[in-house]
Structure 1
């Protein structure tokens, strides 16, 4: 015996698949963070600074050194307009101290040109170059343009610290004095000016690096020359995992 009644309709509600999933949290990586930081600062590339020392041949004219670097800079700017070079070139009687600021690609090409010049011209006037330090991703430039200054007369120093201090102490002295000199030039040279001139030995003799220190660093085997640096730069990174050197090879069950 059956009772009349209304058939009950069962409604099956489909639960969206998205609701069963965990809430998605946007994740980024360190590279994206750096790119966003550069975008906010309106930078098109990461900025780097390199400190170089080198010996120059006897009777080398200031104009020859300045013209060489200016030709290199102009050649690079034809392909990398935004990567302008700023810095400071200090020319001693037999050596140079060079600070360069630009993108990694521009600095790479400057070192590559120097290496090519040394290989193709045995009488190239810049020799024995060493890379003292490279500062990566610096927040801002120290210099508004590229300056050249000459030490016209020998500077007399009371003692030779290369004979009494360790290499670490000499490098510390070098970087400390170089940064002080760079800050002085950055503060005193106005935008658009040719540079600090050739009388730094009279204005700030206490900030000048001894040429003995530059020669000492050029001879130090602890620092890379452009060839060794570029070889390391071009070498692909490869990490050997522990599992690659274990025998027998591990197997998964």
Structure 2
């Protein structure tokens, strides 16, 4: 009996408490969850949506603007294979609203293109570009293609909301209009259609933000310009912990 008891004690030492407390079910993290979600949805990258506003030179031709961005997208696509750009470009007489959907790397290259033109050229046809919002990891695209449309609106507006509303109210109305416009186009534009035409101001006038709103947002200092965004994007993060701070500073002898 004593021999049996001795063996039982030895076998008990072979299973330490740490082993018994280890989780029996494998655990993942949030990154693995996102990767698995993207794999199930057959996505190669996380999808993002970016809203841009900018001033443009007067009397810019729609064909010239469309060709410029078509060439830019094709150039970026060579290095970001499969990361197609969809969205909507509304061209006003002296400003534009640009909604873009693609990967993070592709959107960064689009901002970098504007940043390089502003840095290297004295006059570029796009001026005072501002990033209104970037929505990360959106579930699906609202636009099947990248569309360009000219907004033909009167120059004079009887109701200038920028004088009677705060910036928060103006931007809230802006988001409501643009999202309703995106949903309207998602439901009405047929798959395979290559263009919207220039009649949005007739078919959906209540969903188009007035040009005065676009120019107002371009002047707002609260929104980030591409140069600030690119510099912040490329700047490495150095976080100094309190435990790393020593006083007085160490000196060598």
Task: After the TM superposition, list the runs of 4 or more consecutive aligned residues in structure 1 that deviate by more than 4 angstroms.
Answer: 8-19
Deviations 1:49-71 (A, max 9, x none): 00000000122111111111111
Deviations 1:203-245 (A, max 9, x none): 1111110100100000011111100011111122233323234
Please state which structure has a larger fraction of its residues in helix: 2
Distance across 2 between alignment mates of 1:240 and 1:182 = 44
Residue 32 of structure 1 is matched in structure 2 by: 32
Residue 237 of structure 2 is matched in structure 1 by: 237
How far apart are residue 17 of structure 1 and its match? 8.2
Comparing 58-67 with 141-150, greater Cα deviation is found at: 58-67
Residue 109 of structure 2 is matched in structure 1 by: 109
Q: Which of 1 and 2 has greater Rg?
A: 1
Structure 2: tracts of 5 or more residues without a match = none
Distance across 1 between alignment mates of 2:11 and 2:191 = 67
Deviations 1:166-199 (A, max 9, x none): 1111111111101111111111111111222101
Say if 2:176 is the partner of 1:176.
Answer: yes
Query: Aligned pair in 2 of structure 1 residues 18, 136: CA closer, same or farther (>3 Å)?
Result: farther
State TM-score, norm by structure 2.
Answer: 0.88
Distance across 2 between alignment mates of 1:159 and 1:127 = 26
Q: Secondary structure at the match of 1:133?
A: strand
State TM-score, norm by structure 1.
Answer: 0.88
* RMSD between superposed Cα atoms in Å: 2.3
Query: Aligned pair in 2 of structure 1 residues 183, 15: CA closer, same or farther (>3 Å)?
Result: same
Query: Aligned pair in 2 of structure 1 residues 12, 131: CA closer, same or farther (>3 Å)?
Result: same
